[in-house]
């Protein structure tokens, strides 16, 4: 399952991406926020991280820079959240680091760019090269 969440800064971009996902027939669960009213990103990042761990899914988080969401999500054991600002970073975060959550910087990338980033992130799987597997295991031991 794919889990989405945003704070107020990422709300519009989350809604845009959710609409595109629905058009493409991608199943997802929107965990909030549900308005542009000011709120705090840690609540949303933690909610998505918990669901990803519990169900083995993937997450998308949207905030102003992506950084705050990634910091919070990465506090959850087993989460590898990456701030992704272009398609190459999205692809490499999955292929090389087995990222399971993408954190998008809504104030820094357009909605269309965010959609392309999300498409790349979801289309890419872990590369399983020995050096990448070794590094992910090292991360998991921390």
Task: Tell me whether strands 81-83 and 101-105 are parallel, antiparallel or unpaired.
Answer: parallel
Q: What domains sit in the chain, N to C, each tagged with a CATH number?
A: 2-141 (3.40.1400.10)
Say how far apart CA 73 and CA 5 lie, in whole Å: 12
Residue 128: which pLDDT band, with cuts at 50, 70 and 90?
A: confident
Q: How far apart are CA 128 and CA 20, in angstroms?
A: 29
Helix (H, G, I), strand (E, B), or coil: what is residue 39? coil
Q: Is residue 3 over pLDDT 90?
A: yes
Confidence (pLDDT) at 49: 99
Reported as a single tens digit per residue, the pLDDT across 61-96 is 999 999 999 999 999 999 999 999 999 999 999 999
Cβ–Cβ < 8 Å for 3, 57: yes
**For position 97, what pLDDT does the model report?**
97
DSSP string, 92-137: HHHHTT---EEEEETTTS-HHHHHHHHHHHHH------HHHHHHHH
pTM of full prediction above 0.85? yes
Q: Tell me the C-alpha distance between 94 and 92, whole Å.
A: 5
Burial profile 53-88: b = 16 or more Cβ within 10 angstroms, e = fewer = eeeebbbbbbbbbbebbbebbbebeebbbbbbbebe
Q: Is residue 142 pLDDT above 90, yes or no?
A: no
Per-residue model confidence as pLDDT tens digits over 17-60: 999 999 999 999 999 999 999 999 999 999 999 999 999 999 99
At residue 88, the pLDDT reads: 99
């Amino acid at each position: 399952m794919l889990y989405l969440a945003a704070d107020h800064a990422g709300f519009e971009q989350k809604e845009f991406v959710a609409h595109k996902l629905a058009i493409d027939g991608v199943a997802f669960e929107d965990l909030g926020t549900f308005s542009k009213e000011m709120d705090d990103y840690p609540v949303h990042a933690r909610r998505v991280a918990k669901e990803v761990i519990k169900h083995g899914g993937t997450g998308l988080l949207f905030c102003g820079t992506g950084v705050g969401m990634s910091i919070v999500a990465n506090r959850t054991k087993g989460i590898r959240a990456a701030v992704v600002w272009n398609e190459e970073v999205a692809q490499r975060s999955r292929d090389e680091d087995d990222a399971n959550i993408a954190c998008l910087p809504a104030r820094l990338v357009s909605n269309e760019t965010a959609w392309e980033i999300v498409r790349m992130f979801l289309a890419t799987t872990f590369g399983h090269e020995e050096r990448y597997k070794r590094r992910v295991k090292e991360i998991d031991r921390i």
